[in-house]
Amino acid sequence: MKMINLFGKILFICIVMCSQATYAQDPSGQAAALQNVPSGKVVMAWYSAWVNKDWNSLTQTVADGFTFSSPLDDHISLSAVKERCWPNAALIKKFDVVS
């Protein structure tokens, strides 16, 4: 009887630990948490504009004098982003933002 009790406790602990690990890795939970931070709202708006292929929304997201940097481009203007990067928006289906 004690062995069954011990097994039940171990099983319960494993289930609790697995559910915690799953919750911690849930990207939708991270995206929701990001919405509660002022800069997080800007990040989510930026990526949503790419997914929705909405250039006007993207331009409203950024500040005057905005520059974009990536491994291939260093501090390029918004017009350069439109020329070099925006054509690839057609290939984007979704983003998973991980914080």
For 34-71, write each residue's pLDDT tens digit: 777 778 888 888 999 999 999 999 999 998 999 999 88
What pLDDT is stored for residue 57 in this prediction? 94
Q: For residues 9 and 5, what is the distance between their CA atoms, to the nearest angstrom? A: 6
pTM of the full structure: 0.63
SS3 70: coil
Nearest-Å Rg of the Cα atoms of the chain is: 21
- 21-28's contacts with Cβ under 8 Å and 24+ in sequence apart are 27/96, 27/97, 27/98
In this prediction, residue 4 carries a pLDDT of 56
Tell me the one-letter amino acid at 98: V
Higher pLDDT, 46 or 33: 46
Residue type (1 letter), 37: V
pLDDT band, very low/low/confident/very high, at 76 (cuts 50, 70, 90): very high
